[in-house]
Amino acid sequence: MACDLLIFAPHPDDAEIHCGATIAAQVRQGARVVVVDATRGELGSRGTTVERDAESAAAARVLGIAERHNLELPDGGLLTGNRGQRDAVIEAIRRHAPRTVLSIGPASRHGDHLALHELVSGAVKLAALHRFPSAFPAVAGIRLWCYEAELPISAPTVLMSCTEADWECKRAAIACYGSQLVGRDGPPTTIATPEFMRWVEARGRTWGFQAGAPYAEAFSGPEAARLVNLIGV
């Protein structure tokens, strides 16, 4: 089924952390939102794939995501030049026929984040080629935007303003990932610290100040001059 907004995330929890409030805002406005996770996060320092599958499903319910599935590509093994991985992304785009695609942006340290950004960027164009072999028809006219990753966007081309309720929905969705967060035994990670959620809050409030809203999330892309809403509703 066609969707309004298709979001690609490298690992379960990336979509919630980096653009969860935008998802909540778009759903609130009536958008059909689909999330595709590239990997199951099997190399993560905390939690099992079974736990993370359950957590991502719970977070999807919190945000009101219409559909979520996982490409089951190798965690730690996303590669820009891998044709099979590229084709899996193309199939997802054609299957969901979105009006807008959101992908993780290039301002990142993580190899999987960087590779998925490149895979999605190329796949959006290839998905529009009618002679490209696929089980699904070509999809053209897709707008592509990149959401902020773990490193800041120095000059975002658009800030998506979010209400207090949208941000609370984001908080609740992130909280679904209990295996990854502080409060559970396990090795230390960037996420499993009290400072992590303070960073998430500070980033949202900083962009919100710039956008004249309680909170905002930052995106980069080539189409800011005509963007009013990611899905146009």
Q: Which of 109, 94, 49, 105 lies closest to 73 in space, CA to CA? A: 49
The answer on pLDDT for 226 being more than 50 is: no
Q: Which of 213, 206, 100, 92 lies closest to 160 in space, CA to CA? A: 213
- Give residue 225's pLDDT: 44
Segment 159-176 shows an average pLDDT of: 96
Q: Using CA atoms, how far apart are residues 98 and 19, in angstroms rounded to an integer?
A: 17
- Give residue 232's pLDDT: 47
What are the distances in angstroms from CA 101 to CA 120, 192, 226?
A: 9, 29, 16
Segment 54-70 shows an average pLDDT of: 98
The answer on pLDDT for 229 being more than 60 is: no
Which has the higher per-residue pLDDT, 233 or 6?
6
Percent of the chain with pLDDT over 90: 84
Segment 145-171 shows an average pLDDT of: 94
Mean confidence (pLDDT) of the chain:
93
In sequence order, the β-bridge partners of residue 29 are: none
Q: Report all structural domains of the chain as residue ranges with CATH numbers, in order of start.
A: 5-226 (3.40.50.10320)
- Give residue 233's pLDDT: 39
The answer on pLDDT for 230 being more than 90 is: no
Segment 139-161 shows an average pLDDT of: 92
What predicted TM-score, i.e. pTM, was given to this entire model?
Answer: 0.94
- Give residue 223's pLDDT: 63
Q: Using CA atoms, how far apart are residues 75 and 128, in angstroms rounded to an integer?
A: 28
- Tens digit of each residue's pLDDT (9 = 90 or more) over 97-111: 999 999 999 999 999
Q: How confident is the model at residue 224 (pLDDT cuts 50, 70, 90)?
A: low
